[in-house]
A and B are shown apart, each in its own frame.
Chain A
Amino acid sequence: MESIYNKNMDERLVKAKLDNGLNIYIFPKKDYVKQYAMLSVDFGSNDIDFIDVKNGRRRNMPLGIAHFLEHQLFEDKEESIFDKFADLGASANAYTNFDSTNYLFSSSSNFEDSLINLIEFVEDPYFSDENVKKEKGIIVQEIKMYQDNPYWKSYFNLLSALYSKHPVKNEIAGTEESVMSITPEDLYICYYNFYLPSNMDLILIGDLDPQRIINLIRENQAKKHFPHFKNPVRIIEEEPENVAKKLVEEKMNISRPMVQIAFKDPVQSEEPAQIIKKEYIVNLLLDIVFGNSSKNYNELYDQGIIDNSFSCSYHKKPDYAYVHLHGESNKPDQMREKVKEKLVDIDHDEIKENFQRIKRKYQGSFIRLFNNFNNLASEFINYRRLGIDIFELATIIEDIKLEELLAYSDKIFNKDFMVESIILNED
């Protein structure tokens, strides 16, 4: 057990790793009533292609299998999992994203029993033809719900324009067709490949006694046998540097056009701290150039080309990265033109003038992170998977230099790597 105290933030992080490889992270929060637990599995919608640890065979799974598995684990032979938590006064939930599946509950009493419940249901799969068939109907409704969401639709159109090979171009829940093809066997294969304690992290936040909790989990895990400790090998086909498509257009029943623009940022192999730092640097840069205090934002707002639906951000993972700008506009062509024009010709003086202030804003948002358990857990795991503890972010932000912003500003907005996704009104 290791305990790290951050004096500036007055926050503590306790870490432990069990013999079976399960990582436990605890943020003890005095005076808080809420208790929060998240079991995060390093298995997301991107992990569809891998080498089966049992027989060395390559597996190509239907799209959306990680999300399907998340739904399916809530199935139990006898009682509803949701009821089990509700009986303890806790409420359970789960979500799947590109790179992880996360099971969580929040409670205000009976934390230990709820925690054991959480571990037990994730570690006890039960997939039958009948319950898999039933879940398909539910997930198809979920997919249809997303198909009616114009932001979601145009976001995935954008990703499919950016990437021709990388699985991030696929919708997290998959397609109606891929979901209908999923079998209990597929689910079991994914389960024994990825749902190993050594491929999971447990994050706990609340007014908790770390030593006691760790002992409790250790006892629970000692009773179980896990077949092997090797983590699966994922296959990500090499992504070409070029974009897949320059433009995707679609029509939907919406009030006004929606424009999304992205710049693909080719990746090289980088150190985790470097990946995170670059993500901050480019986000600072974007805030200076197109954030709501920027000259550009206010000029285009004034001209009625963009409004407060506009936003921009940069996303960076070890295997993909892109700049993302989007907003609604009744002048979509002008918006596209202007955004391109401004990004290709960035004023270095503007970056110099605004750098310190924007950095301050990021320091403030780092402090805020510790207010909300849900955000803290999801951000924590994000950085933890890259090998960084969340307290280190403060130093990473502090260390950012003006020169680094200037250097990226000249090369990241390359028109050759730009794609656009437009949703127009149905006539």
Chain B
Amino acid sequence: MNDLEFKTEQNRFNLHHLATDKFKTNLIQVFFMLPLKNEKEAAMNALIPSILERGSKNYNDNQLIKTELENLYGSNMSSNILKRGENQILRFSLEMVNEKFLTHKSNLTVDAFKLLNDIIFNPITESGKFKQKFFEQEKEILKQDILSLINDKYSFAVENCLARMCKNEKYGIYKLGTVSALAEISNQELYDHYQKIIKEAKRSLFLVGNFKSSFVENIFEETHLDSGADIYDDHTEVVYQDKEPDYYEQELKVNQARLSIGFRSGITRKDPDYYSLLVFNSLIGGSTHSRLFQEIREKRSLAYYVSSSIESTKGLLLINSGINAENHQKVIEVVEKEIKAVADGEFSQDEFLRSKKSIINHLKQDLDSNKSLSAHFLLSLVNDKEESINKTIGGVEAVSEDDIIAVAQKLKMDTIYLLKSEE
């Protein structure tokens, strides 16, 4: 078995290649890193990929693109806007089955990559702008996407909590921008912005799978990709402060109240205590063996879900739960009590070992998924700390009980947000 590590190829583009024949499919991803500046730019960055996906010069409408992808044995092409630290990351993803499992011979990878390339770099233009029809339609659809956050009450609570918590930081900007900022965008400025991204944004290319060497060698002949800096974050502001937690309530007609509690850990992937944070998160709320799951759900029957998660570029920890509104104070008290207990070293060795094993188990399983391998490497690249999964596992293994206590002591509750039913 190979070690499943990304190798950075010496090339004029930032090619990160993980060669393996483990998967039935090959995965190609192109990333552009776009620092969060304001809501209008965020909306522009989110709008560009959906316009590009509508049609390019050689594949000039959606129907033709989808037809071509189906011809390529149902290859998947998609674009996403991710938020990592104070950046939007624009990800284009292409996944196709490995030719060796097909009974008919085919040049799938090359053909699919040609399509992706055309979509990203060769948009249809009309007098130096995007095609007006695509621009208008996708602007309307993005508006609907922004508004549709309310349909998913879990995410609605999370985003509202983070927006309030980071209202004075770039991180507080929603990854799709706002409806009012979107309305201000003109086709011309959007196209100019696109040109700027293509020329100046930090970018990377990931390959995961069993690619022919001729493909990897010639990939740059086939593409318009220019050289530029590899993606890494050098500006995210890690805020870590002592303050009384802010409390916000929002009313909406809901059956279940949602509680989100935001904390500052001040710990990012670059920090040595990042591995301790991983283990702490597993102990407090990352899984079903965690303290909060046991105390809030299993012992007190107050919730169906209660979990914690970390943001490791900005240094945040978030606890989320769905509850009856009248219990919110009780839940907050349990959260405070459990974090304090860990900070006081009141946890058993079994709990400690379990939490470590759980993290290691999940990391190991990431080795079996092309997308997880890519997501893990992306985060390490963003945080300027290239690291294989096996190396992260090594870091977790070295964590001691005292390290966890230190993380728990470091954690600062910042913002409490409650979404509840109208009185």
Contacts and interface: CB of A to CB of B under 8 A. Distances in A.
Interface of A: 8-10, 31-34, 80, 82-83, 85-93, 106-109, 134-139, 141-142, 144-145, 147-151, 252-256, 291-295, 297-298, 301-302, 304, 307-308, 328, 330, 357-358, 360-365, 367-368, 370-373, 426
A141 B289 contact: no
30 contacts: A10-B101, A33-B364, A33-B365, A86-B354, A87-B357, A91-B287, A91-B361, A106-B365, A108-B360, A138-B303, A139-B304, A141-B322, A144-B322, A145-B256, A145-B305, A253-B252, A253-B254, A254-B151, A255-B150, A256-B144, A292-B62, A293-B67, A304-B140, A308-B141, A360-B71, A367-B97, A371-B24, A371-B370, A373-B368, A426-B253
B49 to A, nearest CB: 12
Nearest to A139: B304
Interface in B61-109: 61-63, 66-67, 69-75, 96-97, 101-103
A80 B360 contact: no
Contact of A364 (B97, B137, B152, B252): B97
B370 to A, nearest CB: 8
Interface stretch (B211-219, B264-272, B293-301, B332-340): B293-301
Nearest to A9: B101
B294 A80 contact: yes
Contact of B354 (A87, A150, A364): A87
Contact of A368 (B24, B71, B358): B24
A33 B368 contact: yes
B144 A367 contact: no
B302 A137 contact: yes
B74 A32 contact: no
Interface string B286-325: 0111000110011001111100000000000000001110
B369 interface: yes
- Tell me which of A134, A135, A138 has the highest count of chain B C-beta atoms within 10 A of its own C-beta: A138
A93 to B, nearest CB: 8
Contacts of A304: 137, 140
Contacts of A307: 141, 144
Contacts of B147: 255-256
A368 B74 CA distance: 10
B375 to A, nearest CB: 15
Contacts of A137: 301-302
Contacts of A150: 151
- Tell me which of A108, A137, A253 has the highest count of chain B C-beta atoms within 10 A of its own C-beta: A108
Given A86-B289, A91-B358, A330-B144, 13 more contacts: A34-B364, A34-B367, A34-B368, A134-B301, A141-B304, A255-B149, A298-B61, A301-B62, A304-B137, A307-B144, A328-B144, A363-B74, A367-B25
A92 B103 CA distance: 38
Interface in B360-385: 360-362, 364-365, 367-370
B110 interface: no
Nearest to B95: A368
Interface string B327-357: 0000000000000000000000010011101
Contacts of A142: 304
Contacts of A135: 301
A149 B324 CA distance: 16
Contacts of A109: 361
Contacts of B357: 86-89
A302 B74 contact: no
A293 B287 contact: no
Given A91-B288, A145-B322, A302-B137, A364 B73 contact: yes
A144 B253 CA distance: 12
Contacts of B164: none
Given A147-B255, A364-B74, A372 B358 contact: no
B190 to A, nearest CB: 19
B362 A91 contact: yes
A87 B74 contact: no
A9 to B, nearest CB: 6
Contacts of A86: 287-289, 354-355, 357-358
Nearest to A292: B66
A386 to B, nearest CB: 24
A83 B74 contact: no
A77 B259 CA distance: 31
Contacts of A308: 141
Contact of B254 (A31, A139, A148, A371): A148
Contacts of B72: 364
Contacts of B170: none
A364 B24 CA distance: 10
A89 B25 contact: no
A298 B73 contact: no
A396 to B, nearest CB: 15
Nearest to B256: A144
A361 B74 CA distance: 4
